[in-house]
Amino acid sequence: MRLSDERKSWLLGATKTFLDQIGGSPAEEYLVSHRGLAPETVERFRLGFVGGSSVPSGLEQYRGCVSIPYLRRGALGAWSVAAIRFRCVRPECVRHEDGSFREEETHIGHGKVQSMAGDTHRIYNTLAIQESADEIAVCEGEPDTWTSAQCGIPTVGIQGVSGWKSHFDKLFVGYKRVWVLAQGDDAGMTFAGQVAARIPSGLVVPMDKGLDVNRAYRAFGSEAVLNKVGT
């Protein structure tokens, strides 16, 4: 779906607003203290927080969420935002009563990640495709994408098992290897198998049982992820 210039400007403005609100916020604590992201990674992906008194009209329902802009860079280097997704970090959803973070989050009445009305499935972090690398990784979801990229692997993210669309196939033609990083459970392996089957150079790389990329990183460090892809 081609965005109008007005829509692009609005999305870019919202991204900047949320960026200004992340310092010292619950989103920053969640991303850095719980998810193990370096501040540089948070900045790299322009992650923000929907909080405070300044929220663009129409986005009020996402208060208490991390804002996840889908960044694009044009041929002349200009930045734009194709979409924004929102990951809930409200205390009642991600923390225990003692204030510690839950591993299994509890989101009642809403999804843990939400897209704006009318949005379509997109590849997250397409900037990785613009890098001059002959290998790339594919993850399910944004948090594993942040983590894999932080480990030094060019990585894109897909919005769930049903998020892969046929027109994505051609973007991965010509790579020496496409590592499809799979969560260590049946659903994760199903997702990875379906994606790898569409890519001639695709290879399923499962995490250990019960772990996704982010949990593997937090438990065992970047080597646990890098060793999986032989880096």
Report residue 224 as tokens: 């646990």
Average pLDDT (41-46) is: 97
Q: Given the structure tokens 């196939």, which residue do they identify?
A: 169
- pLDDT (0 to 100) of residue 103: 93
| Paired sense of beta strands 177-182 and 135-140, if any | parallel
Average pLDDT (206-222) is: 95
Q: According to the CATH classification, is domain 126-229 in 3.40.1360.10? A: yes
Map 47-105 to HEC letters.
Answer: CEECCCCCCCCCCHHHCCEEEEEEEEECCCCCEEEEEEEEEECCHHHHECCCCCECCCC
- Note whether 207 and 183 are within 8 A (CB): yes
Residue 201 pLDDT level (bands cut at 50, 70, 90): very high
Report residue 69 as tokens: 């802009």
Question: Is a pLDDT exceeding 70 seen at residue 171?
Answer: yes
- Note whether 186 and 109 are within 8 A (CB): no
How much is the pTM? 0.94
Average pLDDT (58-62) is: 94
Integer distance in angstroms from the first to the last C-alpha of the chain?
A: 36
> Which has the higher per-residue pLDDT, 8 or 155?
155
**Please, what is the average pLDDT of the chain?**
93
CB atoms within 10 A of CB 193: 14
Q: What is the pLDDT of residues 111-142, one digit of tens each?
A: 999 999 888 889 999 999 988 889 999 999 99
Q: Where in the chain is the domain with CATH 3.90.980.10?
A: 5-115
Q: According to the CATH classification, is domain 5-115 in 3.90.980.10? A: yes
